[in-house]
Amino acid sequence: MQSSPSQAQTHPDAWELFKFLTLFQSVTFVVGLFAPMMTLHKGVWIFKEESTYSVLGGIKDLSASGNTWIAVLIFVFSIVFPFLKIVLLSWSWLTKMHSHFRRVVAVVGVLGKWSMLDVFVVALLVCLVKVGELVTVEIRWGLFSFCISVLLGLCASWLTSRVFGGWRSGH
């Protein structure tokens, strides 16, 4: 009995684009986790204090300060969901088990709906922390790397749903 080809084999051009998107997404995702995302400037003149946070550093500090529940939520939405999305999308392209395509694409669609929540949380924190002249927030380059990762993930999901949508309808 002959094995059916994977989506990567039947759609080589789309597969090349998907590999580029996923590789770039993975790099910007990892960089975004470790890079400085924001710096808080507290105080005035000589009594000024600065704290710079990355995603991982922020999760660690939230947990250490007793905000474990918030740290877990940010960990799940900022690290676990994006990682699962990358793995599931890649698996869906490489597998030869066509019966799982619809389910994998559906799960990735659900994960994708939550993929901007972590960026929203950072934006909310920036808005909440801005308290006049005493506290200011400086957005750092890690936030842009993380946002690029989220956008590339959305593009990879869209490409996958288009290719698999065409496969299901016989195109």
What's the rounded Cα separation, in Å, for the pair 163 and 102?
11
Q: Global pTM?
A: 0.79
Q: Tell me what pLDDT residue 170 has.
A: 41
Which residue do the tokens 């088990």 mark?
97
Q: For the chain, how long is the longest CA-to-CA vector?
A: 77
Q: How far is CA 110 from CA 7, 85, 119, 157, in A?
A: 21, 10, 17, 11
Which residue do the tokens 């986790």 mark?
33
Q: Tell me what pLDDT residue 167 has.
A: 46
| DSSP state letter for 3 | P
Q: What domains lie within the chain, and their CATH numbers?
A: 7-166 (1.20.140)
Q: Tell me what pLDDT residue 171 has.
A: 39
Following DSSP, what letter does each residue of 11-73 receive, concatenated?
-HHHHHHHHHHHHHHHHHHHHHHHS--EEEEESSGGG-EEEEE-HHHHHHHHHHTT-HHHHHH
Q: Tell me what pLDDT residue 140 has.
A: 93
Q: Tell me what pLDDT residue 99 has.
A: 63
Q: Tell me what pLDDT residue 42 has.
A: 83
State residue 137 phi and psi, 5-degree precision. -120, 130
* pLDDT, one tens digit for every residue, the chain (171 residues): 456 677 677 888 888 898 899 999 999 999 999 999 988 888 877 778 888 989 899 899 889 989 898 889 888 888 888 888 888 888 877 776 566 666 777 777 777 677 667 667 666 666 655 556 677 788 899 989 988 998 898 888 888 878 776 544 443
The letter for the amino acid at 156 is: A
Q: Tell me what pLDDT residue 36 has.
A: 95
